Structures are given as structure tokens and as C-alpha cells.
Amino acid sequence: MTFTHLDADQRPTMVDVSGKTATKRSATAEARVDFPPAVAAALRESGLRSPKGPVFDTAIVAGVLGAKRTHELIPFCHPLGIENCRITIDLKGNAAIILCTVTVHHKTGVEMEALTGASIAALTVYDMCKALSHEIVISAVRLLAKEGGKSRYTAVNP
């Protein structure tokens, strides 16, 4: 197996995308936030608000900002002019299911941007609800799909 972020001397390096062709690329990632039953019930009863304000609306804004700033957080990510970032959050049972889809026309993919957007949205949900409980669990951050470039990917159990 060859690691793309190592040079000939096995030192970390950014992947050179200068020779690649810009194409439409997209990726979708998911994160799950599990609440204690009382917190999920409180969210439903309050119209998805916590003492800090509108939980999911705030998380969507934070997730989009996180996706746009991925290159500032992950050392070898290229800065991308993201063309679209859509985040949805659904309360299913006692869990918030976060989906983040990012699209760009570029020489490199947006998997990390989608994963970062979903993760930051999940962290924001936690932050907005931690006054209600610290027993909130963030889990299952994963890539669901990517397309464009050389390869396609779809998760086995989306």
C-alpha cells in the first residue's frame, strides 16, 4: 500500500494536484449524536431549542463554516472554493442524524470537507445541549459517498 501524503523520503507532504483535471466532485458524510431519552424529549417539546437557542439551526451554520475551513484544520487539505454545502439534521428516536454534502469543481475531492462539516455540526449540537446533560454521545462519523475524480465510493450500510 502506498500512502499519498508521503514523499520519496517518507516525509509528510501535500499531494500535488497540479496535473489533474478539475471535475465536479461531491461527498456526503454522516454523524450521529445520541441523547439520553429525557434530553431528546426536551428537544422535541421545546421545538429543538436549548437554553442556548435553536440547536439544529446553529449546528447547520457551524457545520457549513467548518466545511469551508477544513484546509485550516487538516494540514494537507487543499483550500477549495466550495460551491455547495448542505447539512440536514433529523431527530430520529433519541438521536440526531447529521448529513453533510459538499460539492465543488476542482482537482481534488471533498471527503474531508464533508466529514469536517458533519463533525463540527455534531460538536455544536453537543455544545448547545450540554446544559441538559453531559451523557450525550457523538458517534458514527463516516463517509457515506463520494463521486468525481478517479474513484467512486458508496458505504455498504448507508
* Active-site residue list: 127
How far, in whole angstroms, is CA 77 from its chain's centroid? Answer: 14
SS3 content of the chain, % helix, strand, coil (to 5): 30, 35, 40
Q: Is 152 exposed, middle or buried (0-12, 13-18, 19+ CB in 10 A)?
A: exposed
Cβ contacts of 76 within 8 Å, gap of 6 or more: 5, 12, 13, 14, 15
Report the half-sphere exposure of 89 (CA within 13 A, side-chain side). Answer: 29
